[in-house]
Amino acid sequence: MREYRFVRALLIGKKMKTLTKIALIIVPVVALSFSANAHDPKLHVKKNQKADCSKLDHSKMNMKDPVAMAMMKKCSQQAKKKRTTSQDKISQSKINTQHDNH
């Protein structure tokens, strides 16, 4: 009987230790996740936006300035890419229509 009690106490002790360990992991994780929600999540959104070239005012730009030159290059590259993509889409849709007709 005494041995049985001893083993039982030991098992309860082990369970407590395991529970303490789990609590030690879970409590900080939950606390951290709450603190992460405490501010605007928009701040953490990785932006992969395209260049907004619509606001470029060419008349006010000094074309010898490296910043203006870099912006022009980026915007022209973007426009070229856009044209190529839309042309590809048109030709692809033409192919699809021909296939449908056949």
Partner 1 sequence: MRFICKVFLEGITNMKMLKILLILAALGMITMFAVMYSGVVNVAADEPHSKFVYWMLEETRENAIANASADIQVPDLSDPELLLTGGVDYGFMCVSCHLKPGQKESDMSVGLYPAPPNLAIEHQTHDEDSDRRKARNFWIIKHGIKASGMPAWGKTHDDKRIWAMVAFIERLPKLSPEEYQILTAMD
What whole-number distance in Å separates Cα of residue 73 and Cα of residue 79? Answer: 10
Work out which of 20, 33, 37, 49 binds partner 1, going by CB under 8 A: 49
User: How many CA atoms, within 13 angstroms, populate the side-chain half-sphere of residue 89?
Assistant: 6
Tell me the CA distances in angstroms from 88 to 26, 51, 76, 93, 96, one per residue in order. Answer: 52, 21, 18, 9, 12
Establish if 39 lies at the interface with partner 1 (CB under 8 A): yes
Q: Is 77 in the site for partner 1 (CB under 8 A)?
A: yes
Segment interacting with partner 1 (CB under 8 A) among 5-13, 15-23, 70-78, 93-101: 70-78
User: Site residues (CB under 8 A) for partner 1?
Assistant: 39, 43, 47-53, 55-56, 66-67, 69-71, 73-75, 77-78, 81
